[in-house]
Protein backbone atom coordinates (compact mmCIF):
# COMPACT_ATOMS: atom_id res chain seq x y z
CA UNK A 1 0.00 0.00 0.00
CA UNK A 2 1.61 3.28 -1.10
CA UNK A 3 2.12 6.03 1.45
CA UNK A 4 4.05 9.20 2.21
CA UNK A 5 5.11 10.91 5.42
CA UNK A 6 3.90 14.40 6.29
CA UNK A 7 4.90 16.26 9.41
CA UNK A 8 4.37 13.76 12.22
CA UNK A 9 2.12 11.21 10.47
CA UNK A 10 1.93 8.75 7.62
CA UNK A 11 -0.65 9.22 4.87
CA UNK A 12 -1.76 6.00 3.17
CA UNK A 13 -3.31 5.53 -0.24
CA UNK A 14 -7.11 5.48 -0.19
CA UNK A 15 -9.35 2.46 0.28
CA UNK A 16 -11.77 3.93 -2.25
CA UNK A 17 -10.41 4.43 -5.80
CA UNK A 18 -12.50 7.59 -6.18
CA UNK A 19 -10.05 9.34 -3.84
CA UNK A 20 -6.97 8.34 -5.84
CA UNK A 21 -6.72 11.73 -7.65
CA UNK A 22 -6.88 13.54 -4.29
CA UNK A 23 -4.19 11.25 -2.85
CA UNK A 24 -2.00 11.77 -5.94
CA UNK A 25 -2.32 15.54 -5.57
CA UNK A 26 -1.31 15.37 -1.91
CA UNK A 27 1.61 13.08 -2.68
CA UNK A 28 2.81 15.31 -5.52
CA UNK A 29 2.87 18.47 -3.41
CA UNK A 30 3.76 17.08 0.00
CA UNK A 31 7.45 18.04 -0.30
CA UNK A 32 6.49 21.65 -1.07
CA UNK A 33 3.64 22.19 1.39
CA UNK A 34 4.24 19.64 4.15
CA UNK A 35 4.00 21.24 7.56
CA UNK A 36 1.76 24.10 6.52
CA UNK A 37 -1.62 24.41 8.20
CA UNK A 38 -3.35 24.42 4.81
CA UNK A 39 -1.73 21.15 3.74
CA UNK A 40 -2.47 19.50 7.08
CA UNK A 41 -6.14 20.48 6.72
CA UNK A 42 -6.19 18.97 3.22
CA UNK A 43 -4.83 15.73 4.66
CA UNK A 44 -7.45 15.81 7.43
CA UNK A 45 -10.16 16.21 4.79
CA UNK A 46 -8.71 13.42 2.66
CA UNK A 47 -8.52 11.02 5.63
CA UNK A 48 -12.07 11.92 6.70
CA UNK A 49 -13.44 11.23 3.21
CA UNK A 50 -11.53 7.96 3.03
CA UNK A 51 -13.07 6.87 6.32
CA UNK A 52 -16.59 7.88 5.21
CA UNK A 53 -16.28 6.00 1.92
CA UNK A 54 -14.85 2.97 3.70
CA UNK A 55 -17.86 2.87 6.07
CA UNK A 56 -20.32 3.03 3.16
CA UNK A 57 -19.19 -0.33 1.79
Give tens-digit pLDDT for 1-53: 899 998 889 999 999 999 999 999 999 999 999 889 999 999 999 999 999 99
d(CA 39, CA 57): 28
Q: Is the pTM value of this prediction over 0.75?
A: yes
Residue-level pLDDT at 57: 64
**3-state helix/strand/coil string of 8-38:** CEEEECCCCHHHHHHHHHHHHHHHHHCCCHH
Amino acid sequence: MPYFDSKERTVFSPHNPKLEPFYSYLDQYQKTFSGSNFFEELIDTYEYLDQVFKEEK
